[in-house]
Structure 1
Amino acid sequence: MNQNTDKTILILGANSDVAKQCILQYVAKGFSVIAASRNTKSLEQLILRNNLDPSKIQILYFDAADFASHQKFYEELLTKPNTVVYAAGFLVDNEKALKDFKGTQQMMVTNYMGAVSILNIIAMDESNKNLERIIGLSSLSGVRGRKSNFVYGSTKAAFTTYLSGLRQELALKKITINVLISGYINTKINAGLDLNKSLLMEPDYVAKHIVGAGNSFIIVPNFKWKLIYLILKVLPESLVAKLP
């Protein structure tokens, strides 16, 4: 009998390319998955396309921007999760974000505010003795402010900071918090962007680092991105200002 058959994973923003790969990998390891997204039809197609056991996957509607619905969404879960993955994300071009606040606001809501709203509810539920881990998907863009993407980056920086504090808050309860800080991923959110192809990671590769998360707070997939992450952390502000 698979040791994970009694463990449940809740994936919020489950329609992202990385999240879909997480679904496949969690199910392959014997976990039950609650896949929550606004686009439930796409998730239904994922099950059919990959011939997945529907008894192992529950598809629910979840809107990160609809804060008022979050409490009800969580309370109505038939099984409270052992692991929660927040994978919802939104990106608009920096120049557009600077000129049109709608795009900026949607990034703030999806990447940060929606995450804090639902994760606070989950983390503060004293009745859920199952909760073992919360994983948030952040970005290298949030490590330092750079003029090419600082609006998007600021939402990811806020999310990373939130998760860092949540880690301290839940430490005594032995709940592990991880933040995945990724570089460029070959996903629909990055489609059309002029990215260095040699640095692109595939969604299944990134998903492996999420599904296999250990105790380290920060997870940076790929040795090239680990190096870039470390350089960005220590680079003097005068040099960061010269980056694109």
Structure 2
Amino acid sequence: MNSNKTVLILGANSDVAKQCILQYLAKGFSIIASSRNLTSLENFINENQLNQSKIEIKYFDATDFNSHQKFYDELSIKPNIVVYSAGFLVENQEALKNFEGTFEMIKTNYVGAVSILNIIATDISNKNLERIIGLSSLSGVRGRKSNFVYGSTKSAFTQYLAGLRQELNSRKITVNVLVSGYINTKINAGLDLNKSLLMEPDYVAKYIVNAGNSFTIVPNWKWKIIYWILKLSPEFLVAKLP
């Protein structure tokens, strides 16, 4: 059991992040769960009768970049593992017409991640840090007309994590990116998704909590096939996809 290790979850109110909390606790980790919605986290902890001595909740706004250094400096303990799971999504047609929605995705999915993770990664005084995991998306593998605005923010995040992995390699810190397909979560509620490809949050969380040394983690064999088809297909074929 890892009773002396701490996981910082940034954007802990997502459905996948909440499952990560349960699974990390089961492995003996302590949790710093950070989010804008502290009431939802408190309700989640109470409903699941979780050990409150192992969980600290802390306010974190991914889009309030000026607050990130203070947030990190005030952590009660510097983390061994960091999971960035904050995310925001608006549908592509709305994003094309409404820059406000586009900008919110850029700030939450990319800029906010880079802001806080740069602070965490460059703190060489934190000898505890051993892993950073970012939640990306298959939408970021190739630009497709149905979701390229959202996909572009996830693609940028994936590329950032790839470089961060190289940057931190000499300090023996592992960086992973979770590249997931459709997950049955509130962010996807109401979208017309293929039910046979829908993954449950607890299933995806297992891949995060049990992350190994490989950079790219793609949960589910069906999505692994789709990932490689997207990655390797010539542009004229990708153009025919929705």
SS at match of 1:170: helix
- Equivalent in the alignment of 1:17: 15
SS at match of 2:56: strand
- Equivalent in the alignment of 1:113: 111
Cα deviation code 1:81-138 (max 9, x no counterpart): 0000000000001000000000000000000000000000000001100000000000
CA distance in 2 between counterparts of 1:44 and 1:29 reads: 21
Cα deviation code 1:133-188 (max 9, x no counterpart): 00000000000000000000000000000000000000000000000000000000
Residue 33 of structure 1, aligned match among 31, 34, 41: 31
TM-score by structure 2 length?
A: 1.00
- Equivalent in the alignment of 1:237: 235
SS at match of 1:162: helix
CA distance in 2 between counterparts of 1:174 and 1:136 reads: 17
Cα deviation code 1:193-240 (max 9, x no counterpart): 000000000000000000000000000000000000011010000010
- Equivalent in the alignment of 1:157: 155
TM-score by structure 1 length?
A: 0.99
CA distance in 2 between counterparts of 1:199 and 1:241 reads: 22
Q: Once the 2 structures are TM-superposed, how far is the Cα of residue 9 of structure 1 from its aligned partner?
A: 0.1
- Equivalent in the alignment of 1:173: 171
CA distance in 2 between counterparts of 1:28 and 1:126 reads: 29
- Equivalent in the alignment of 2:134: 136
Letter in structure 2 aligned against 1:9: V
- Equivalent in the alignment of 2:88: 90
- Equivalent in the alignment of 1:54: 52
Are residue 217 (structure 1) and residue 215 (structure 2) matched?
Answer: yes
Q: Which runs of 4+ in 1 moved over 6 A?
A: none
Residue 69 of structure 1, aligned match among 59, 67, 70: 67
SS at match of 2:7: strand
- Equivalent in the alignment of 2:193: 195
Letter in structure 1 aligned against 2:196: S
Task: Compute the RMSD of aligned alpha carbons.
Answer: 0.4
CA distance in 1 between counterparts of 2:56 and 2:211 reads: 23
Letter in structure 1 aligned against 2:236: S
CA distance in 1 between counterparts of 2:186 and 2:45 reads: 19
CA distance in 2 between counterparts of 1:91 and 1:51 reads: 31
Identity in percent: 78
CA distance in 1 between counterparts of 2:170 and 2:227 reads: 29
CA distance in 2 between counterparts of 1:196 and 1:47 reads: 32
CA distance in 1 between counterparts of 2:127 and 2:36 reads: 28
CA distance in 2 between counterparts of 1:46 and 1:190 reads: 20
SS at match of 2:90: coil
CA distance in 1 between counterparts of 2:28 and 2:38 reads: 22
Q: Once the 2 structures are TM-superposed, how far is the Cα of residue 72 of structure 1 from its aligned partner?
A: 0.2
